[in-house]
Each structure stands twice: as C-alpha cells, then as structure tokens.
Chain A
C-alpha cells in the first residue's frame, strides 16, 4: 500500500511529520531549559538569610521576607474577595438568570475582561482605587485590581462545574420542598467544589506571576508588616521585587533566587491545577 504512493506524497508526509516532531521538541526543550537554567542560577542564591530577613541598607544585605509576606497577603486578600464574587456570578448565570440577553452581556463582559492586558488594569487600578477611592499605593489597592483581573477565571471554572451537577439532583431537592436558596446551598454548591478549587488554583498562579498590574497599585516597598497593617501600606510582591532587583538595581543573584522560587511555585500550581482538572473530569464523567 505504502509502495504505491508517489514520491511526492511520501516526501510530503515525511517532511510534515519531521516538522511536527521538530516543533514539539522545540516547545519541550524551551520549557525544560528555562526551568533548568532558572533553577541552576537561582537555587544556589537562596539562603536562609535571604528568606528570613528584610533588606538592610546598614548591613548591605538583601532579604525578601517582606516580599514573600506581601505576596501571601495579596493572594489571600484577592481570593477572599474574588471567590464569593465569581462564584456568585456563576450561580446567577447558571441557576437564576432567565433573560438570555443578560447572560450574554455578562459573559461578554467577562470575556472582555480576560483579554485586557495587565498594564491597563494597573493603570485603571491606580486611577480608581489609589486616587479616586484614596487608598494610596497599597496592597489593598493591588489586591482589588487583581480581583477584577481574576474574576473571569473564577466565573468560568465555576460555571463549568455547575453544569456538571445533574438537573435530577436539583429537581429531587425541589420535590422535597426545598426552596431555591436551600437547593443551591445543599446540592449545587457542594457539587461545584472542584470547579471552585480549579478557579482558585488558576487565580493563585496568575496572581503569583503578575507584575505590571501591581507596579503602580501596590508599589515596591520592602517593609515588614502584619496583614492588616500591610494591606494599608505599599509593598512589592515577589514578581515586582524580581523586576526591581534585576532592572533597577542589577542584583541578578537575588533576582534569580526569586525567579527560582517563582518557578517552583509555578510548577506546584500547574501540578495542582492538573489534579483539580482530573477531579473535575472524573465527576463530569459520572
């Protein structure tokens, strides 16, 4: 059978196959070498002093503990706000909405939000939260900016998993006399946990990697604060700190140490996202 193919067709097949394999090899090699290079340059620079102190100009030492804490605070604050909002929006779209046009408008808005570049979020966040609402440059303003950015993700993943809750379960609960809110609380929400978790993980990944939106909303101070004090003051997350150390100060050792930490976190986020995705698929397969 293969023999009867003309030379041209065989050559076409071979060349295309080679190009496809080459492309996949390029992609995998890029990913692998990026991880390896960053870890190789960064890990030796991660010292206990770096992780556990704040920057001291007097001693000339650099520590990233404040940046780590700022990152944790921003992640926590953003999630605490975006989760209820996003899950609520998804529940409205999936359980309550009757007007098709309204659903289309909301979904279109969410899609638009997910396409807007982070530098524009940063700019509007600065104008609206920092100046108009007078929050100054603070972690709170940064977190709220990230809430807007991550809202579409949470809405989408929650919606996906709400769709996997069988209509029969809802109808059964209604038949037993439960009202809408009770059905949502006891049947729909528990069923959508995998989607909410997936949205959570994706948002954490995006927040950890975000820098342009935070530069002008959360600022780049390196001070140690508690949570509530920190929310009201400026602070750099790890990504912003990386940028400042690499671009403004030429401290490449510190920058690579932060990059290695971020790389490890990215890997962790990707693995957990995959696990959550598998759980979601398993449920929808049932």
Chain B
C-alpha cells in the first residue's frame, strides 16, 4: 500500500513539472522567433495584422499597474479591517465580518465581472465623463475588492498569533490599546501581513475573467480610462481562434505570466518561512 500512497503524493510534483514543462516548451519557440527583446519590450501588439507585430510590453505594464493600483486601494482597507477584526472586535462583530469576508472570497469572478460591467462601468462613465467606462480604472476597482479576502484572512491569522505577553507588556508600560496594536502587534506580525499582501498581488495578477469583462480588451498602453489588456486577458481573448505564430505567442505570454507567479511564490515562501522561524 505504501507505494500507492507515495504515488498519490508524487502526483502533485508531477503536475507542477507538467505545467512548467508545457509552458516552457510551448512558450519558448515564439519568443525566439519574434526575438526576446522585441517580444518583451515591443509596444505594439497587432497579432492579426500583415505583417503582424508581437510586442507585449502593453500587457506587462497593464498587469503591473493594475496590480499596483489594486494593492494601493485594497491593502489599506484590508489592513485596517484586519487589525480591527484580529484585535479589537467583539466576538459577534468578528464572526459576522469574517462571514462577509468569506463570502467575498467565494463569489465567482464572473459575478464580479458582471456587476462591474453593469454598475461600475456606467458609474465611471458618469463620474468622469468618459465615453466608455471600460479600462484600467474599472479593472483596478474590481481587483481591489477581489484581493480583500486574502489580505484580511491571512493578516488576521498573523495578528492573532502574536503572543499576548507582548501586548500585555506594552499596555503595562502605559501605551493605549490602539498604540499597542499598531506599534507592537502589527510589527510582530509583519511577515504574515507582508505575506498577505504578496498573496493579494498573486491574486490580482492572475485574475482573468473579471478583468476581461471590465477592462475593454484593446491592446493599448495602460491608461486609466482607455481600454486595456492584461497578461491574463491577452491569453484568454485570442486563444479561441488563434493559429500558427499568433497562437505560439499566446503561450509565450502565459510563460511570462507564469514567471511572474513563480517570483511571487518564492517571495511568499520566504516571508512565511521567516514568520515560522520567529
């Protein structure tokens, strides 16, 4: 029986290997054919034009800006909520709010996309007086809500793990409760909180469907009110009809996205390990 269980355990490793190998093998050829520099730093994506041009810098920048924007909006809210829920909130409030957080985490991304399309886009059109609300701003707003649950859940867990003696010592020295939470508990839980932010980055950069529904999907350089395309949506929007070099270029985009994710995973592991060591 031992071998059966070993085999089951090794499937996870096998899947990771499968995904990596497939992405590298199918992603490299187009990159070489187009030229790595032109592919990564080219600013024009016209995959069906004649001659086609395959520059994915707009996608990379859109993904980076979109993620940064979502973090900028989501982290302050998530962080403050996490401190309140982990340290201040009475049991009743805490469990109700955590249920709300769990709900936000469970809502399918297409539902976020749908509500974004029908509520957010008209709102942006009206407030900013732009012809089409779809664009980077809409995507940032949707993503900032979608990353809230990861940030809050992981931060709350980290804050709850802070030894009570730290806080007691701070209180005994005359600090107010709020000062204690902000200047003792938060620094003590900082690797967990940092991990929650990195997790949020991973969520935001990997989200495809919700973004696809609100970002407009034209391969422009990123700008708040113009239609833009993320790395994820670049893969998704052309995959159904692409062929030849265009199709291979989509695999190369996926490879770039995968490398971003691996980088984020490595950072996450480092942070969590540092948290454990303490």
Contacts and interface: CB of A to CB of B under 8 A. Distances in A.
A106 B10 contact: yes
B202 A209 contact: no
Interface in A54-72: none
Contacts of A262: 107-108, 111
B11 A85 contact: yes
Contact of B236 (A16, A37, A155, A212): A212
B96 A23 contact: no
A88 B4 contact: yes
Contacts of B261: 115-117, 120
A120 B12 contact: no
A92 B251 contact: no
Q: At the interface, is chain A mostly helix, strand, loop or mixed?
A: helix
B133 interface: no
> Which residue, of B19, B111, B257, has the highest number of chain A Cβ atoms within 10 A?
B111
Contacts of A20: 80-81, 83-84, 88
Interface in A31-46: 31-32, 34-35, 37-38, 41
B208 to A, nearest CB: 4
A21 interface: yes
B15 A127 contact: no
Interface in B14-30: 15-16, 18-19, 22-23, 26
A112 interface: yes
B138 to A, nearest CB: 14
A116 B258 contact: yes
A51 B20 CA distance: 41
A259 interface: yes
A9 interface: yes
A16 B145 contact: no
B80 A120 contact: no
Contacts of A186: none
Given A9-B179, A88-B4, A259-B114, A117 B207 contact: yes
B100 interface: yes
B236 A92 contact: no
Contacts of A224: none
Interface in A196-224: 205, 208-212, 215-216
Interface of A: 5, 9, 12-13, 16-17, 19-24, 26-28, 30-32, 34-35, 37-38, 41, 84-89, 91-93, 95-97, 102, 105-106, 108-113, 115-124, 126-128, 148, 151-152, 155, 180-181, 184, 205, 208-212, 215-216, 239-240, 242-243, 246-247, 252, 255-256, 259, 262-263, 266-267, 269-270, 273-274
20 contacts: A16-B182, A20-B80, A21-B84, A23-B79, A24-B85, A31-B100, A88-B4, A89-B8, A92-B2, A96-B2, A113-B12, A113-B15, A115-B265, A116-B19, A116-B258, A119-B236, A123-B235, A239-B110, A242-B110, A262-B108
